[in-house]
Chains A and B, each alone.
Chain A
């Protein structure tokens, strides 16, 4: 038997040796690097020809797929000899029959946000990438991108952006790009951005109470609550049933916003540390519950009474709140009351007397943003020239004016163009097939100038994109729910979270 063990061991050793040989022979194209990190610092090689086939992979969300399809078609026309494949994650469309007025109709929809499907998508992408393959361009949507950077799967775009002369950095909101850097590298390119801006209902504040709101630009939630305390007492009579709330959101939603404003204080992904149990996190939980008890925010939890009826929606439109954190989607609509744009945050309540105050800031003056779409370049890609050309194309004026791009364009020229089209209403009802700017009337011009000024001011204050991790966020979401539904105390919740996230980051 000893003999067998010996043979087994030598076989295993032999096998591993062969395995290593197989390993090195597959990457002998790159010479003999001493450390594989160096390999990631591959530089942009100018003068490559834009030709051949590339693949873009994204998890199938509506915004990505439509935009990419449109871009692929235009790109292939612009560069003959190229082919762009859009690979979305295959998921069965959800066909449902509904009986309406005696008739059965079929409703085809994409399955909702499905945790299992997201997981499957990541598994698939990872298998391809770790095999040294995968799509040339990867949408940074559901994937925890910093892990892809850490394992060398994403190309650092710094040199591309610097050395490629056709890429003019000044055409873009540079602070948006810079905020997205991770370990000083530009590993992905956000091609649009969204952020929240703060407005208050001037009919609920006296003139002197409005003063601090108008004079400052950045506020923390705590400051806002403090500034709102006196007006709150003036407006609401004690013991009355329908109180005007400070924010039209539920406790867990507010909590989510508040802890994310201070993300870096609690979780530092670059350093792999988590700091939830020094009392601040628990204090924050209790603080939000206190706000709830005082009636500053909506009572109860969102889960329990999911009102989605038209009636509730209409009612909500009339509701007054002291403050509103609005998404940048609605900014133009806010400044242009007779806009033809019909989406945006109309569920935010009565906006008639709203005045923009500025933005909400986190610790250390952090003003964050998020994006709707962002892309990274696979470092295994065999056709980086074309892939980079396509990414540039996505950020070009031509594609940035597309209606399929929902966020604010990062391209300044495209933003100006798109805003004009939006104001004239042509963006949604193009005259003919061509999108062409007609002259703005003086009224429209005023709106345009005002919007560009306000948006410019708000955008310039943005300085952070949190390296977030959806896994951590969902761990926190799930656990915090136990606090707000009363089944666990804040200490219990923070202890559990500290342990779980510590474990996660130490893996």
Chain B
């Protein structure tokens, strides 16, 4: 009984904290079904003619959770009237997917190597991996540009994708996870005559399931939201990712901001839900074989 009560309390805490977290989401989703005109009225402190007649002197921004008039107008505007939106969405996918896959493979190999490597200075090298990750973005934009110039990839997605693939964060994350793995696992496998690739696939991979899930999730989100690099490397606006477009929307086109955000969020959500399950299942299967 007391066990159940405890569980109830922890649920209550979780639910109430979650509510704070999803409040912006709720606003975004419900407001995406509001007409553009209502948004114009709600999100402004300008007094309308009616306010002046009613002698209202102050006007607050109002956030309505329930729209006073349900409408698909914003979605229609975004999806049908602005075909460029779909192009930008595709661009986002073209940048994000290669980074997620490439980074996962590279990080997995490197993290594994760091775990089993018997080199005297591997901790120093690992430390360098972590330190370099600490560089703030502004500081590396110029060098990145110089390197992209030298490699002649300045005006292609490669200038964004390649640094993403080799980002040290994945190596760091997966290696920290592998530290929990008892060394005996590797030794036992080696005695059984498994080679290193077999150990990686059959022993390490299943163990790293949640680490890999976390890594893909976070990488996906990070590159889905990427803005700065895209601004510098991409010149043609039909090649820009959607994130760049959306980062500017708050200033002007607020009438469609909510619907645009909802569409933009849909893919990461789908990825988080469906993608994760399949990924985990895939890893489990590979472990059983």
Contact = CB atoms under 8 A, between A and B. Distances in A.
Determine direct contact between A and B, CB below 8 Å: yes
Interface of A: 4, 7-8, 11, 87, 90-92, 94-97, 106, 111-112, 114-117, 120, 123-124, 127-128, 130-133, 303-306
A116 B141 contact: no
Listed from nearest, the 9 A-B pairs whose CB atoms lie closest are: A90-B237, A97-B81, A116-B248, A120-B231, A131-B145, A114-B251, A130-B142, A131-B146, A127-B232
B46 A4 contact: no
A114 B248 contact: yes
A8 B84 contact: no
Nearest to B48: A305
A404 to B, nearest CB: 23
A131 B231 contact: no
Main secondary structure of the interface of B (DSSP, over half): helix
A507 B250 CA distance: 28
Given A106-B81, A128-B145, A133-B149, A4 B127 contact: yes
B228 interface: yes
B146 A92 contact: no
A149 to B, nearest CB: 19
B253 interface: yes
Contacts of B236: 90
Contacts of B234: 90
A110 to B, nearest CB: 10
B252 interface: yes
Nearest to B49: A305
A115 B251 CA distance: 7
B248 A123 contact: no
Nearest to A123: B231
Interface in B95-146: 121, 123-124, 127-128, 141-142, 145-146
Contacts of B128: 8, 11
Interface of B: 46-47, 52, 77, 81-82, 84, 88, 121, 123-124, 127-128, 141-142, 145-146, 149, 228, 231-232, 234-237, 240, 244-245, 247-248, 250-253
Contacts of A4: 123-124, 127
14 contacts: A11-B124, A90-B240, A92-B240, A95-B81, A95-B82, A96-B77, A111-B252, A112-B252, A114-B252, A116-B247, A120-B248, A123-B232, A127-B142, A305-B46
Contact of A305 (B47, B77, B84, B141): B47
A8 B250 contact: no
Contacts of A127: 141-142, 145, 232
A108 to B, nearest CB: 10
A124 B232 contact: yes
A112 B82 CA distance: 17
B231 A92 contact: no
A10 B76 CA distance: 61
A8 B240 CA distance: 39
B235 A90 contact: yes
Contact of B231 (A97, A112, A124): A124
A305 B50 CA distance: 11
Contacts of A7: 121, 124
Contacts of B228: 123
Contacts of B248: 91, 111, 114, 116-117, 120
Given A4-B124, A90-B235, A131-B142, 9 more contacts: A11-B124, A95-B81, A111-B252, A116-B250, A120-B248, A124-B231, A127-B141, A132-B146, A304-B47
A115 B250 CA distance: 10
A505 B142 CA distance: 24
Nearest to B121: A7
Nearest to A121: B231
A111 B145 CA distance: 28
Contacts of B142: 127, 130-131
A94 B145 CA distance: 29
